[in-house]
């Protein structure tokens, strides 16, 4: 789900849009056994609003600036790879477990 990558970390994310509120739910496994971070977003998937909301939420939860968060792949998909600089995988895991748990 969270892996070290060049210059930061990569987080596998599964997004649900049009939720009641934006929140990080926690780890979820798909039928293929892949684990991703489940995220609910209140934003609609129109004109990049959901992607912007995802970036803002991840940045806030990890305590990094929005400029440190980018969607590496899956911009038009529910499954995304989010790249974050300025934090280690261990620190990110600890912060996300504390918030989602």
| Tens-place pLDDT, residues 18-74 | 999 999 999 999 888 899 999 999 999 999 999 999 999 999 999 999 999 999 999
Total-model pTM: 0.92
**Residue 20: other Cβ atoms inside 10 A:** 7
Q: pLDDT tens-digit profile of 63-101?
A: 999 999 999 999 999 999 999 999 999 999 999 887 655
| Dihedral angle of Cα 35, 94, 20, 53, to the nearest 10 degrees | -90
Question: What does the CA dihedral 49, 52, 58, 60 come to, rounded to 10 degrees?
Answer: -100
DSSP 59: H
């Amino acid at each position: 789900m969270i892996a070290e990558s060049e210059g930061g970390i990569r987080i596998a994310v599964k997004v649900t849009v049009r939720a009641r509120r934006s929140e990080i739910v926690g780890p979820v496994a798909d039928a293929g056994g892949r684990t991703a971070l489940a995220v609910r977003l209140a934003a609609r998937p129109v004109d990049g609003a959901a992607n912007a909301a995802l970036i803002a939420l991840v940045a806030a939860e990890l305590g990094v600036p929005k400029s440190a968060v980018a969607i590496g792949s899956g911009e038009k998909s529910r499954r995304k790879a989010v790249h974050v600089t300025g934090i280690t995988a261990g620190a990110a895991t600890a912060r996300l477990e504390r918030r989602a748990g």
